[in-house]
Structure 1
Amino acid sequence: MEILRVFNNNLVLARDPGGDEVILTGRGLGFQARPGQVVDPARVVRRFVPSDGRDPDHLAELLAGIPPEHIQLVSAALAGAGVAPAASGGSTTLVIALADHVNFALHRQDVGMEVTYPLLAEVTNLYPAEYAQALAVLDALNARLETPLPEGEAVAIALHLVNAGIATGDLSYTYTMTGIIQQMVGVIEQTYGVLLPPTSVSVGRLITHLRYLFVRIHQHAQLHEERSAIGAAIRDSYPHALECAQRLAHVVELRLGAALSDDEVSYLTLHVARVVQECPAP
């Protein structure tokens, strides 16, 4: 492998034989090294392969500022909690982002700075699976720390897991998405006079649909088929749900400045109809 950039004595950006850029760490790996030189494979301890189009140079720069022991700590905690790379949308980005978060959380703890995360209710309701995983990751982290991190950190860890799963690469977008989804659920509840149970299968499907809707919006790749027969049939079959879906589309446009396509509104209509059928008004 050829060295592309040296970040410090222990971290370099390189190009593997297949032409992909990879981040390599190892004691002394970058010491007196220069771009164009061949990597000494005997010194490589960890190899990070950026996924989903993430910028390798940016990830390497972020990684260079994180103590190696915190990378090892997070990797061990994720493994101990059973968070598999396939389930996390690519382990490299998750490990780096979570290690950066843990590094700062430990620093805050050392200086006595307390942080209260305001999204506990939203995260537990909208992302129960990720929150359960986050609690397990936090337990695994604390089992390896002299001074344990507070339970509130599970909220931030859960959001990192959500972010890795939808692969937007932008945690601030995940925060925004979470707030908008909660607002949209509120619109459905107010429209129909119901309380949507988080454990409902249809509600779970709705949340999953919304998560990937936001990914499509983020990637400018909304569902769109001119004069879609399926879309027209859904709209004709569920006129009340269509009105609610149009309100939801208005929320998205106000919050994100993105108008939903007709097909996106149609499939949103179908999900609204399903959740209210499972939770009829009193």
Structure 2
Amino acid sequence: MRILRVFNNNVVLARDALGREVVATGRGLAFGRKAGQDLDESLIARRYVTAQDAGLVGQMLSEIPLGRITLIEEVFTQAVKELGATITSAGLIAVVDHVHQALERARRGERMDYPLRAEVAHLHPEELRLAERMVADLNASQAVRLPDGEAFALALHLFAAATGAGCLQEAAAQSRIVARAIELIDGAAPGGIDQGSIHAARFATHLRYFLARAHTGAQIDDGTADIISAPLRGRHPDAFRLAEEVASLLGECIGIAVRPDEISYLAIHIARLLSSSTPAGQ
């Protein structure tokens, strides 16, 4: 790799063998080095290949202590792994920057508001559990302590990793889509639905992974609708009608048509949710 710019001893901008601009970090990576020289790749701890301006990314990382970058990466990577998701350079950079800024705010004694507390706690309990552990691990390793509320923001970063959302704002938007779908069903069910039930959690998870598939242009297309659509519509007409309404909502929010097989799977989840929420005696 050829050095393009040295930000400090630990962060450089370089060009790799594929011609891409790469931000590389590592302790002492650029000590005594300058632009135009080859990089000792054995010293690289992390390399970032991103669609963002690599120079700006390098500048941002150079302003964060290397030990802090490493700690944030370790705890976030472990949480993403337990979630069964993958992480992109852009996602990792976003988390490093977010946590660094949050720590600096905490150091200055500034208070933060977390407007999506209720939605995150309700819709993303697994991400929140992992995010709370991230906050605990980060606080155990530093003098500056993150407030507990940061777990809600970090849970959205985990949700972004799970769904392939490009940024925290996109993850928050997807979370609101899931909330709107659940509200639609809750409003249509007599007496509402049990939003704390396992069926509600499974429905929310199904929507999350639909959004992840839709993000890449993929949808379920396995012929399920040809087999079960008619009997499902006959046996659970309310569930199928709601599935079509949810599909319409999804299409409106993300700008794509939801395929018949996806609608059938939505109807299955909604039928279970309505059945489990039906008041006794009805």
TM range (shorter): 0.7 to 0.9
Residue 65 in 1 paired to residue 60 in 2? yes
SS in 1 for 2:30: coil
Map 1:75-154 → 2, pairs under 5 A: 75-78=73-76, 82-83=78-79, 85=81, 87-90=84-87, 92-154=89-151
Aligned residue in 1 for 2:24: 24
Higher mean alpha-carbon deviation, 240-249 vs 107-116, is at 107-116
Post-superposition offset of 1:136: 0.6
SS in 2 for 1:11: strand
Q: Gaps (5+ residues) in structure 2?
A: none
Deviations 1:162-184 (A, max 9, x none): 11122222221110111111111
Map 1:1-282 → 2, pairs under 5 A: 2-3=1-2, 5-6=4-5, 8-9=7-8, 10-15=11-16, 23-26=23-26, 27-29=28-30, 32-34=33-35, 37-42=37-42, 44-48=43-47, 55=51, 58=53, 61-66=56-61, 67=64, 68-78=66-76, 82-83=78-79, 85=81, 87-90=84-87, 92-193=89-190, 194-200=192-198, 202-224=199-221, 228-230=225-227, 232-233=229-230, 234-282=232-280
One-letter amino acid of the counterpart of residue 65, structure 1 = M
One-letter amino acid of the counterpart of residue 113, structure 1 = E
On the 8 A contact 1:22/1:47 being kept in 2, the answer is no
Percent identity of the aligned residues?
Answer: 28
Aligned mates of 1:226, 1:78 — CA distance in 2: 38
Post-superposition offset of 1:120: 1.1
Q: Gaps (5+ residues) in structure 1?
A: none
Give the TM-score normalised by the residue count of structure 2.
0.81
Aligned mates of 1:99, 1:172 — CA distance in 2: 16
Q: Residues 122, 238 of structure 1: CA spacing in aligned structure 2 closer, same or farther, 3 A cutoff?
A: same
Aligned mates of 1:63, 1:198 — CA distance in 2: 44
Aligned residues between the structures: 271
On the 8 A contact 2:91/2:167 being kept in 1, the answer is no
SS in 1 for 2:79: coil
Q: For the aligned residues, what is the CA RMSD?
A: 3.1
Give the TM-score normalised by the residue count of structure 1.
0.81
Higher mean alpha-carbon deviation, 231-240 vs 183-192, is at 231-240
On the 8 A contact 2:12/2:23 being kept in 1, the answer is yes
Aligned mates of 1:7, 1:238 — CA distance in 2: 64
Higher mean alpha-carbon deviation, 21-30 vs 118-127, is at 21-30
